[in-house]
Amino acid sequence: MNQTTKSCAIIGAGISGIAAAIRMRNKGYAVTVFEANAFPGGKLSTESNKGYRFDMGPSVFTMPEYVDELFVLSGKKPREHFNYIPLDPVYRYFFEDGTIVDGYHGKEKYAEKMSEKLKDSKEDIVKYLKKTEEMYELTAEVFLHNSLHKFKNFMTKRVVKGLLNFGKIGAFDTMNGANKKAFKDPRLVQILNRYSTYNGSSPYLAPATLNVISHVEIQKGAFYPIGGMFSITESLVKLAKEIGVTFNFSTPVREILTESKKVKGVRTDNGSLNFDVVISNMDVYNSYLQLLPNAKKPEKTLSQAKSSSGIIFYWGIKHNFSQLGLHNILFSKNYEEEFDTIFSKKTVYDDPTIYVNITSKHTPTDAPVGCENWFAFINAPNNSGQNWDDLVNQAREAMIKKVNRLLKTDIRPMIECEMILDPRVVEARTSSAFGAIYGNASNNKFAAFLRHANFSKEIKGLYFCGGSVHPGPSIPLCLLSAKITTELI
């Protein structure tokens, strides 16, 4: 570890902030993390209630190599500190017509199992997955591993290749448009359209380029961290502390201090502190609005349409459902109408698609014996002043009816405990502007280029990381955001 006399403040102990802290410490900086909450992780946190433990936010884990990389960088053996297992199948999908189909790992197996239950051939599905693989190879270097806001990054051979093949990445079609052309079974189209929700967008508006998300999960694989998703946060915080990072919890930053267009430090309720570098892991919209009152605002970037949000019911269920796995999707009958309701009408659909995550399937201690911990999620609009009390009640009834119908049960008397997260809570707990979970939406072909840079063009020494800036939301992208940001320093 190179030692310098320089210091770095990280605002926010979300997964990207923690990763940035580890990377900056390995660059030799004295690193202090300031977190408004009393706990680390941001959205990737945990809570317990009546013997049930819940992961509160992200629940799908892909690209574990980006977590491992932080241990290797710090001179540690990853498997001695953090472990995970591959999932196969990854998802179980339920449709209103009674169809139940599993999504497996690997293009051959995925295609084989899908073709057994659905109308499209194995050959057509493999062909599609090969195309998404090619799209990923063309786009990864351009969008995921470099700053899009430094001209020199566009001059590398791989980036030039990606740009020259721009026509092959689906930027001029929508996800739904491309998927309807590829398949005749609307159920398979719906399964693949679902990946737009991984960054809070609509498959009927978002570019077909986002079909690369399915490549990551289906072909690269999805995993379960031993002990649940919060073990990612837990292990990285422990690593950060071991290498000398200081964490100040329950310590919100009130202002990023600047002088002559150069960062000077931060101000908290305990006073002002000087730092050579400041990295904000706070939502970039609120970073400018709340922490940089006198700075010039990048209005065009900040005014971009925000992503969807969600309503989550954390239910302790007094029953064991053998027909459910770790990741389950109960699809709505009319997907297009559901997304139109969310993005155009800004309300909750009356027949929502429900995602149910049950970590007790793999970690039995997450629920009492014979019970399950349900993380039941539906997509919802971001907060624009709706009556959320009414919408949450409406969502609860619609979700219970749908679960009962598709699983042929009655879960109402089985709900032993309940916690609720809605866009208001997302906003309050994580400083996500308007409760938009994923920052800006990706509902246009240029969205990837419109995310805020990982650095300030106006203030020297000020940087940004996390899901609201380049390259975007999700655990892997947040970890890559921390990498891009710290490599710029």
pLDDT, tens digit (0-9, with 9 covering 90-100), for 356-396: 999 999 999 999 999 999 999 999 999 999 999 999 999 99
Contact 330, 402 (CB under 8 A): yes
The sign of the torsion formed by the CA atoms of 290, 291, 294, 295 equals: negative
Paired sense of beta strands 30-34 and 7-11, if any: parallel
Contact 377, 310 (CB under 8 A): yes
Q: Where are the domains of the chain?
A: 7-49+58-70+230-303+448-488, 112-220, 308-430
Measured CA to CA, the distance from residue 214 to residue 128 in angstroms comes to 11
Would you tell me the crossing angle of helices 15-26 and 65-73 to the nearest 10 degrees? Answer: 30
The model's pLDDT over 55-108, given as tens digits with 9 standing for 90+, comes to: 999 999 999 999 999 999 999 999 999 999 999 999 999 999 999 999 999 999
Using the predicted structure, report yes or no on whether residue 261 has a pLDDT greater than 80: yes
Contact 198, 214 (CB under 8 A): no
Q: What is the pLDDT of residue 171?
A: 72
Using the predicted structure, report yes or no on whether residue 8 has a pLDDT greater than 50: yes
Using the predicted structure, report yes or no on whether residue 160 has a pLDDT greater than 70: no
Measured CA to CA, the distance from residue 435 to residue 427 in angstroms comes to 4
Using the predicted structure, report yes or no on whether residue 154 has a pLDDT greater than 50: no
Would you tell me the crossing angle of helices 230-242 and 15-26 to the nearest 10 degrees? Answer: 20
Using the predicted structure, report yes or no on whether residue 402 has a pLDDT greater than 60: yes
Using the predicted structure, report yes or no on whether residue 47 has a pLDDT greater than 50: yes
Contact 82, 193 (CB under 8 A): no
Instruction: Say yes or no: domain 308-430 is CATH 3.30.519.
Output: yes
Q: Apex CA 274: angle with CA 40 and CA 269, to 5°?
A: 55
**Mean pLDDT of the region 19-45:** 98
Measured CA to CA, the distance from residue 279 to residue 18 in angstroms comes to 11
Measured CA to CA, the distance from residue 478 to residue 480 in angstroms comes to 5
**Mean pLDDT of the region 338-342:** 98
And the tokens for 27? 């660059």
And the tokens for 173? 């079609």
Contact 281, 247 (CB under 8 A): no
Using the predicted structure, report yes or no on whether residue 12 has a pLDDT greater than 60: yes
Paired sense of beta strands 91-94 and 100-103, if any: antiparallel
CATH for 7-49+58-70+230-303+448-488 is: 3.50.50.60
Measured CA to CA, the distance from residue 118 to residue 401 in angstroms comes to 26
Measured CA to CA, the distance from residue 484 to residue 472 in angstroms comes to 12
Contact 7, 32 (CB under 8 A): yes
The mean pLDDT value of the chain amounts to 93
**Mean pLDDT of the region 180-209:** 96
**Mean pLDDT of the region 135-151:** 70
Contact 380, 391 (CB under 8 A): yes
**Mean pLDDT of the region 198-204:** 96
The sign of the torsion formed by the CA atoms of 91, 120, 338, 434 equals: positive
Q: What is the pLDDT of residue 243?
A: 98
